[in-house]
Structure 1
Amino acid sequence: MQIKEVISYLEELAPLNYAEDFDNVGLLVGDKHAKVSGVLVTLDTLEAVVDEAIEKNCNLIVSFHPIIFKGLKKITGKSYVERTVLKAIKNDIAIYAIHTALDNALKGVNDIICNTLGLTNKKILIPQKGTIKKLTTYVPTQNAEALRTELFKAGAGNIGNYDNCSFNTKGKGTYRGNENSNPQVGKKGELHEEPETQISVTFNKHVESKLLNTLFEHHPYEEVAFEVTTLDNYNQNIGIGMLGELESAQNTETFLQFVKDKMKASCIRHSKLIKNQVSKIAVLGGSGSFAIAAAKAAGADVLVTSDLKYHDFFSAENDIIVADIGHYESEQFTKNFLVDYLSKKITNFAVVLSTTNTNPVKYL
């Protein structure tokens, strides 16, 4: 198996199209055509993690956080980032980062937190805009059903809990080919009228290339008329943060202690406990102060996140309880999830969970 095949499995789970613009995801170091000897999964890629990969004969590190985030102008070993990249290159170890692509995936970071806390009725807290597109094309009516079927196979027409969704309008198409044309229907140089069906289907943007290849392969015309537009509709299956519900309301302090235990947090920093009981919970792994307003608007009793600054606690404004459990703590189970996922996809070599503790934050 080549590295690119492992990547294809990862991008089935979390397509890179949905990573945040500021992020640096994908294959950061290495040759995607290299043969894989083993995969080491980690939250962060540090020198110690590269040493662990060498020891365990893993030449691919799948990391949640990207080791290369800001641009590197030199690689001299001066910083921990440069030393890590140098060691990986010297030992032919590839590094792949998934980060906010997995943050925005339906079965990603925030779903993991929800499942850890036993939340039900889960939905995306901040749906991502600009991820739904629409393809419109025109095809001879006799070919419409066959083309629709192929487009559905390629990933078009999925809306929420429904698939095979399309809109179809019958009409009349006209065209005349010049001397260089080779029309499938009609004759060159003659005006032709053809009963056609306009087919419109929506799709998630990460399948656009596959969808257009399918369109060109299965459309009967020499020249295919089509339009692709980006919709402003929110995508209920892609976005950051998640909202869920406890099976029954809990005492607030009891719930926060439950979160502390389940998320293995050394402590929880929180705003004023304005409610005796809580039931609707928002979660956002990693830095989540930007989600306070969305959590309040969604009617959440608590936002569980990390990296809150002093003034972020004022932003709760007695409308919500914000709880900071720590950055590492909010994302720590991601690597276990990825090992389980890849192990089900790959059986011919080891997918190894890194045992290196990469949490840089210590508590007295």
Structure 2
Amino acid sequence: MISYLETQVPLSLQESYDNSGLQLGDSDQECRGVLLAIDITEEVLREAVELGCNAVFTHHPLLFHSLRRITTETYIERCVAFALKHDLVIYSSHTCLDNSPLGPNAYWASKMGLREVRVLDPKPDFYCKVVTYAPRQDADAIRAALSEAGAGRQGEYSGCSFSVDGEGRFTPSAEAHPHCGTPCRSHVEPESCISVLVDKGRLGSVLSALRKAHPYEEPAIDVLPVSYRSSELGSGIVGDLPQPMTLEEIVDKMSDFQPVEQVCHSRYDGRAVRRVAFCSGSGAFLYQMAGRMGAELFLTGEAKYNDFYDAADYTVLATYGHYESELMTQNILGEILSEKIGTFALHYSVNSANPVNYLERSNGKK
């Protein structure tokens, strides 16, 4: 199940500071049920045990930093101890999901009906080029193996590759066992050069599949860096609404698929906007890019005080809570995993809770 999720949301998409992936537990055990949540808390873990689940999948990682001890002093240590005691598997898909075309930003854009959608900050250095050389009669089998391993995927296209025919020259040693040619004699073989684009998260499995399918004892394989930025992978998203809407109308529409209790915003004159940008969580670092891409409004989970001043030169900045902007990740992970295991073993936590609490005064004073 974890392997399937990582083919859909590769760990290589995560940011350098992140710790997405398997947090703890034996991932080889049989899965009896999965509880989906935003964060790992003691309440969430107890809920998993009560439901008979032995796996908890979250958006935010439990472990961002290494632990020097496991006691009862902090909630993180208590959660680790509880999970180990009850043989739970904990897995998190954080910024790799954020940067994915299956993640919360793309989900938000789809729910809002955005058109002409683009990523605000495409992720660099995600792809490499794998090149190999093989006898022409084996080229189709190798291309098929590469495609099956996930190489050659570009947007809505799969099995993408480029080939050119040429001649390979080599001299096998006396100890070699050549697929073609004779030991100690120079040989010329009609070959195809095959090149495919590979995301780095799949590189290991692609190279393994390539070596398994290749007939040569010592196949020639090149792995080359590629300065290619996909328009679908990266932070934030920008696009055009079907029709101009005011901030209030946008918030009303957002409330149909995620909780929106209060909105903070920079200076705003009340006019309707068409091009909007969004980044779940802590996305305020993108407001300048949103403005440069023509966004009249940029929504995110949270921002710093001065961001509301500084953003005024670029766009209208609006925030409505980190937790609120990422609650949809439970549904997203559920939709992805249901493709593999169905829905019978999936549960959505009722104990996912916003760690930020608000004091509401009832005496009418402001």
SS of structure 2 residue aligned to 1:336: helix
How far residue 262 of structure 1 moved from its aligned partner, in angstroms, is 5.1
Per-residue CA deviations over 1:10-37 (Å, capped at 9, x if unaligned) read: 2233111211111111111211122222
Output the CA distance in 2 between the equivalents of 1:161 and 1:341. Answer: 17
Root mean square deviation, CA, Å? 1.9
Output the CA distance in 1 between the equivalents of 2:155 and 2:344. Answer: 36
Partner in structure 2 of residue 242 of structure 1: 237
Say which is worse superposed, 174-183 or 270-279, in terms of deviation: 270-279
Contact 2:55 2:89 in 1 (8 A): yes
Instruction: Assess, with a 3 A threshold, how the Cα gap between structure 1 residues 123 and 185 changes in structure 2: closer, same or farther.
Output: same
Output the CA distance in 1 between the equivalents of 2:174 and 2:339. Answer: 56
Which residue, 144, 147, 152 being the options, matches 2:147?
A: 152
Output the CA distance in 2 between the equivalents of 1:144 and 1:342. Answer: 34
TM-score between the two structures when normalised by the length of structure 1: 0.92
Which residue, 186, 197, 202 being the options, matches 2:197?
A: 202
Contact 2:287 2:314 in 1 (8 A): no
Which residue, 182, 186, 197 being the options, matches 2:181?
A: 186
Instruction: Assess, with a 3 A threshold, how the Cα gap between structure 1 residues 224 and 324 changes in structure 2: closer, same or farther.
Output: same
SS of structure 2 residue aligned to 1:172: strand
Per-residue CA deviations over 1:243-276 (Å, capped at 9, x if unaligned) read: 2221111134433454466532221111111572
Output the CA distance in 1 between the equivalents of 2:143 and 2:229. Answer: 24
Per-residue CA deviations over 1:160-187 (Å, capped at 9, x if unaligned) read: 3333332222222211111111111111
The answer as to 2:67 corresponding to 1:47 is no
Output the CA distance in 2 between the equivalents of 1:361 and 1:36. Answer: 33
Q: What are structure 2's unaligned runs of at least 5 residues?
A: 361-366
Partner in structure 2 of residue 276 of structure 1: 271
Contact 2:291 2:314 in 1 (8 A): yes
How far residue 320 of structure 1 moved from its aligned partner, in angstroms, is 0.6
Q: What are structure 1's unaligned runs of at least 5 residues?
A: 1-5
Paired letter, 2:132: T
Partner in structure 2 of residue 113 of structure 1: 108
Contact 1:17 1:206 in 2 (8 A): yes
How far residue 156 of structure 1 moved from its aligned partner, in angstroms, is 2.1
How many residue pairs get matched?
359
TM-score between the two structures when normalised by the length of structure 2: 0.92
Matches within 5 A, 1:115-134: 115-134=110-129
Instruction: Assess, with a 3 A threshold, how the Cα gap between structure 1 residues 342 and 146 changes in structure 2: closer, same or farther.
Output: closer
Which residue, 135, 159, 162 being the options, matches 2:130?
A: 135
Contact 2:33 2:345 in 1 (8 A): yes
Partner in structure 1 of residue 206 of structure 2: 211
Partner in structure 2 of residue 36 of structure 1: 31
Partner in structure 2 of residue 68 of structure 1: 63
SS of structure 2 residue aligned to 1:287: coil
Per-residue CA deviations over 1:51-94 (Å, capped at 9, x if unaligned) read: 11121111111111111112211111111111121122222222
The answer as to 2:88 corresponding to 1:98 is no
How far residue 109 of structure 1 moved from its aligned partner, in angstroms, is 1.5
Contact 1:260 1:267 in 2 (8 A): no
SS of structure 2 residue aligned to 1:316: helix
Instruction: Assess, with a 3 A threshold, how the Cα gap between structure 1 residues 162 and 33 changes in structure 2: closer, same or farther.
Output: closer
Output the CA distance in 1 between the equivalents of 2:143 and 2:30. Answer: 38
Output the CA distance in 1 between the equivalents of 2:177 and 2:256. Answer: 70
